[in-house]
Amino acid sequence: MKKLILASNNENKVKEIKEILSPLNVQVISLKEAGVNVEVEEDGKTFMENAYKKAKEIYDIINDESYMILADDSGLAVDALDGAPGVYSARFAGEHGNTEKNNEKLLTLMENINDRSAKFICNMVLIIDKENVIRVQGEVEGVIIKEERGENGFGYDPLFYIPEYNMTFAQMDSKTKNLISHRKKALINLEEAIRKYLQGE
């Protein structure tokens, strides 16, 4: 079985991607499981720049072509905020990963705004080997509601409402969210490439 190292220490993200890729004959392991204790600085100006930087740094550290490296960078883009928080989604309020503060800041900024349309964006880079680097994107559109709803998910999920489902991401079970999420859409674009590689085409 081919091994794929996911260049992330975000346990929620690792769990999501493992679930989504489970139908493929690929063993997905996290950085921690691979014994790599590295935090790549995400200083790119776009999601794609950050995803490539993470994948390339981990690929160079592993230095073993029997492993594929997958990195993603994803976040929330709110139309009325000119695409913010964007690449700063995880550290929107200043402290990396402080979900409570990030959501508070978003709600404050959106307080008197009528256009609440937003989208989650996921950019992924898969390094199969030095000659084969695949870049894909997935998006899911929604609305920023005025108060948090739901206990599941992470990050901005309690504020990100999908009208077709009449639920926020945080109100969905993981199976439902993983069917429609930005990560799922990006991974669908990767599946074909991984299948072809595994079949030796």
User: H helices of the chain, where?
Assistant: 11-21, 47-62, 99-109, 174-180, 182-198
Flag whether pLDDT at 85 surpasses 70: yes
For residue 82, indicate whether it is catalytic. no
Predicted pLDDT at 39: 81
Q: What is the pLDDT of residues 174-189, one digit of tens each?
A: 889 989 999 889 988 8
pLDDT confidence band for 126 (50 / 70 / 90) = very high
Between CA 54 and CA 147 the distance in angstroms is: 33
Between CA 71 and CA 62 the distance in angstroms is: 14
Predicted pLDDT at 50: 95
C-alpha distance from residue 179 to each of 64, 110, 123, 144, 160 (Å): 32, 28, 17, 20, 16
If you average pLDDT over each of 19-33, 40-54, 60-74, 104-118, which comes out highest?
104-118
For the chain, which domains are there? 2-198 (3.90.950.10)
pLDDT confidence band for 194 (50 / 70 / 90) = confident
Quick check: helix, strand or coil at residue 111?
coil
DSSP state of 164: T
Q: Which of 60, 64, 73, 173 is catalytic?
A: 73
Residue with tokens 């989650």: 120
Please give the single-letter amino acid code of residue 201. Answer: E
Q: What is the mean pLDDT of residues 104-128?
A: 95
